[in-house]
Amino acid sequence: MATVELYTKGATVWIPDPDAVWVSAQILETYRAEDQHLLLLLNDGREARLPAAAPGELPLLGNPAILEGANDLTALSLLHEPAVLHNLRVRFLDYGSIYTYCGIVLVAINPYDQLPVYGKEVIDAYSGQDMTDMEPHIFSVAEEAYRTMTREEENQSIVISGESGSGKTVSAKFTLRYLAVVGGASEQTSVEERVLASNPVMESIGNAKTTRNDNSSRFGKYIEIGFGATGEMLGANMRTYLMEKSRVVFQAPSERNYHVFYQLCASRALPEMRALRLEDRDMNSPAMRRWDQG
C-alpha cells in the first residue's frame, strides 16, 4: 500500500467494480489521516465517497499517465492487479499489440483471430536482435533462446503456460516456425511441418471438451529440438506428460471425454472395430450417459 501522502487531489485510484472488475477514479480532495472518506470523481462523471477511515482501507493508486501502454510491466511505478490488467488492455485495444514483457516473461493475449505478425519478414526483423531492442513478440523470446544456445553451447528451455484456450498450442507452433527458419530447416528437413503434423493425432487422444474450451489439451507437451554444432535444426522429439487419466471415467457437467472415445464410437461399424462391440455415440443413449456422467 502506498503512503497516505500520495493520495492527493488529481491522483487516480482503482476501485473494484462488479462488471468491469476494476475502474479508475480521480481524487477530488487530498486525503488526510483524520478523514473518514475519500472523495472521488468516477468515469461517468458522478462523485462518490469511498469509506477510508484508516490508511489500510485506501484504494490502490494508479500509475502516471505517461506509463500507460508500457511494453514491459516492470517499468510501471505501481505493479498490482488493476495496473497490470489496464496496461494489457491499453496495449491490446489502443496499440493493437497482443504481447507485453514482464521482465524476461512474455505475456500474450489471445486475440481469437489471425494476425499478420508472423510472416517471413517479421522473422527476418527479429533474427539477430536483442529483446530490449524490439517490441515484445514470441519471436523475440525464441531468438533469445536460440542465440544463448549457440553462444554458450548450453541447452535452453521455453516454457509456455496458460489457462484453457489461452493460445498455448499456437504459441508453440510459431516458436517452432521461428526456430525452423533461423535454424535453416524450413527448406531442408521440414522439421516444423513434421512436428506439427502429429498434432491432430495427439489432440484426438489428449484433448477433450471443457467448460472453457471445446478442444482443450488435457496433457502437457514437451518438445525437444536438436541442433547441430553450427545451429542448424536437425530434428525434434515430442513427449506427453501429466495426462488427465481421471477424465476417462468421470467428466464434470457440460464436459466430455477425450475426442478419441467418440471417434471410436463413430467408427464402430468398421470391420476392425466390430470386435470392440462399441455402442452408438449418440449423447442420449444409455451407454453415453454412463460414460459422460462417470
CATH, residue 46: 2.30.30
Q: Can you tell me the distance from the alpha carbon of 162 to that of 109, in angstroms, rounded to the nearest whole number?
A: 10
Q: Are residues 274 and 217 in the same domain?
A: no
Looking at the fold, whether 126 and 154 belong to one and the same domain comes out as yes
Q: Is the pLDDT of residue 186 over 60?
A: no
The verdict on 223 and 111 lying in the same domain is: yes
Same domain, 159 and 222: yes
- Burial grade of 221 (CB within 10 A; 0-12, 13-18, 19 or more): middle
pLDDT of residue 190: 62
For residue 68, being part of any structural domain is answered with no
Domain co-membership, 254 together with 237: no
Locus of grid cell 483471430: 113
What 119-122 contacts at long range (C-beta under 8 Å, 24+ apart), as own/partner pairs, is: 120/181
Whether the pLDDT of residue 284 is over 70: the answer is: no
pLDDT value, residue 185: 62
Q: Which residues pair with 238 in a beta bridge?
A: 223
Is residue 130 located within the same domain as residue 232? yes
Residue 197 is placed in which grid cell?
503434423
Residue 220: strand pairing partners: 241
Domain assignment of residue 149, yes or no: yes
Tell whether 225 and 260 lie within a shared domain: no
Distance separating alpha carbons of residues 183 and 188, to the nearest angstrom? 10
Residue given cell 510501471 in the structure block = 76
Range of weakest confidence among 14-23, 75-84, 205-214: 205-214
Query: How many domains in the chain?
Result: 3
The domain boundary, picked from 228, 243, 258, lies at 243
Find the helix or strand (DSSP H, E) in which 268 lies.
none
Which residues, listed in sequence order, are joined to residue 24 by a DSSP beta bridge?
A: 14
pLDDT of residue 2: 54
In the prediction, which pLDDT does 240 show? 77
- Would you say residue 176 lies in a domain? yes
Whole-number average pLDDT of the chain: 87
CATH (domain of 229): 3.40.850.10
Same domain, 113 and 225: yes
Is residue 260 a contact partner of residue 204, using CB atoms and an 8 Å limit? yes
Cα 161 to chain centroid distance, Å, stands at: 6
> Do 234 and 126 share a structural domain?
yes
Please measure the distance between the N-terminal and C-terminal CA atoms of the chain and give it in whole angstroms.
48
Range of the domain at 234: 98-243
Q: Does residue 147 sit in the same domain as residue 10?
A: no
Q: Do residue 35 and residue 153 come from a single domain?
A: no
Q: Which three cell numbers, joined as nine digits, stand for 149?
A: 544456445
Q: Would the pTM count as exceeding 0.85? A: no
Degrees, nearest 5: CA angle 185-187-193 = 65
Q: Are residues 53 and 186 in the same domain?
A: no
Q: Calculate mean pLDDT across residues 108-137.
A: 93
Residue 95 phi, psi dihedral angles, 5° rounding: -100, -10
The rounded distance, in Å, linking the Cα atoms of 293 and 254 is 10
Q: Is pLDDT above 50 for 291?
A: no
Mean pLDDT of 234-239: 82
